[in-house]
Amino acid sequence: MQFKNIIGQTEVKEQLVQMIQHNRLSHALLFLGKEGSGSLSLAMAFAQYIVCENTGGKPKPKAAAASMFGDEEPASSVEDSLNAIDACGVCSACKKANEMIHPDIHFSYPVIPRKPGDKPMSTDYIKEWREFITSNPYANVYDWLQFIGAENKQGNITAAECTDIIRKLNLKSFESEYKILIMWLPEFLGKEGNKLLKLIEEPPANTLFILVAENEEQILPTIISRTQLVKIPLLTNKEVETALTLQDVTTDRAQQVAALSEGNYREALQLLQHAEDDWQGILREWLNAILKGGPVAQVKWIDDISKQGREKQKQFVKYFIHLLEQAVRLNAIGDDPQNTQSIAGNERDFALRLNKLCSLPQQEAIINELDKASYYIERNANAKMLFHALSIKLYHIISNNSLILVN
């Protein structure tokens, strides 16, 4: 993977290139970026840049051959490599890195046992990993675990995996100057991760750790203290919009999806897949059931939403949060079309109705509850229980002005 194939992140790309060009490369890097920011893709592109035979790592000058006629020699390829801002993409190392078969680039990621009693390692799933990342470079851990048939099983980076990492990184490199380990989601390291501390702190020569994480709070503090932090920001709406239009998405649709995805490209792709879903209609039905329909209508709606997949439930909750944020925006700047051009007409109408339905503190309380619901959905909460509890909370927030739920 090359930097040019990654959406946005211009400043991060420049920072990574300068680490190499100015010899400031730390032996352990922590790429910290939210889901959909492209942090894993950046790590893979950086690894390819390092092993590239023409542009990455430390350039190796070629001995200049004497000119037969005394002509001046062409400029050294070393200067070109020092000025290169991306891997060449054509050398043998780049081709292997792009196909994830380079012998000096190793991967570690959460896995599950294939059968009870197994001690699974990443290499057991390397074929699936290559196929998955090739088709889903912006995917999250849920997508990966479903791809390998985890269902409701929890993925882990096991003690056996840590032992295998120590073994591999203590071997000599095969082709490149560097041995590189890309660990995706070190949050899935339990106490077993302490086995890697000595290796991370005192690695063999020319060994590079790249840890790609989403949540710093879930990583072992002893590992964080031994790494150099590289923050990966969320994408801008314009970057997401441009990437979507390159996939033949209409400009209007790309703008709407970019606004909803909030810098998460994986979320943007999910929204496109569910473009036919009538989130407004589902939301209108839910609010009517809560405020007018009574328990029977609520139970029917909850039964319907609980039959949807987890991803659809998350998309619905996220869309409700988006409409509430638009309502807050309209409340702050007024319904002036010149100031609210980015809000679609049907969304503006719905947001205005939300402003009539509940005040700003009530909207804050609802957003707070929806955020928690999204968190629980991600962790396989029972959908019927979750949406039933959420319906009761929303009823009290809207009808009884019970704002104690903010806390």
pLDDT, residue 275, reads 62
Between the two ends of the chain, the Cα-to-Cα distance in Å is 45
pLDDT, residue 334, reads 67
Please write the tens of the pLDDT for every residue from 155-182. 889 899 999 999 999 988 898 888 999 9
pLDDT, residue 93, reads 92
Q: What are phi and psi of 33, to 5 degrees?
A: -155, 145
Is the distance from CB of 216 to CB of 185 less than 8 angstroms? no
Q: Give the CA distances from residue 267 to residues 149, 196, 336, in Å, rounded to whole numbers and listed in that order.
A: 22, 33, 29
Rounded distance between C-alpha atoms, residue 226 and residue 136, angstroms: 30
pTM: 0.73
Please write the tens of the pLDDT for every residue from 217-242. 888 888 888 899 999 999 998 999 89
Q: Give the CA distances from residue 239 to residues 86, 194, 257, 304, 340, in Å, rounded to whole numbers and listed in that order.
A: 20, 38, 12, 35, 20
CA-nearest of 185, 188, 190, 226 to 43 is 185
pLDDT, residue 404, reads 44
CB atoms under 10 Å from CB of 28, counted, come to 19
pLDDT 10s per residue in the chain (407 long)?
Answer: 899 899 988 999 999 988 888 888 888 999 999 989 999 999 999 999 999 988 765 444 444 444 444 444 444 444 444 457 889 889 999 999 999 999 999 999 999 988 888 888 999 999 999 999 999 899 888 889 889 988 777 888 989 999 999 999 998 889 888 899 999 999 888 788 888 888 988 888 889 999 999 988 888 888 888 899 999 999 998 999 899 988 878 887 788 788 778 888 988 888 787 665 677 888 989 999 998 888 899 999 999 999 887 778 887 888 888 888 888 888 877 655 554 445 555 677 888 888 888 888 888 899 999 999 988 887 778 999 999 999 999 998 888 765 444 44
pLDDT, residue 303, reads 93
Map residue 149 onto helix, strand or coil: coil
Rounded distance between C-alpha atoms, residue 361 and residue 405, angstroms: 10
pLDDT, residue 402, reads 55
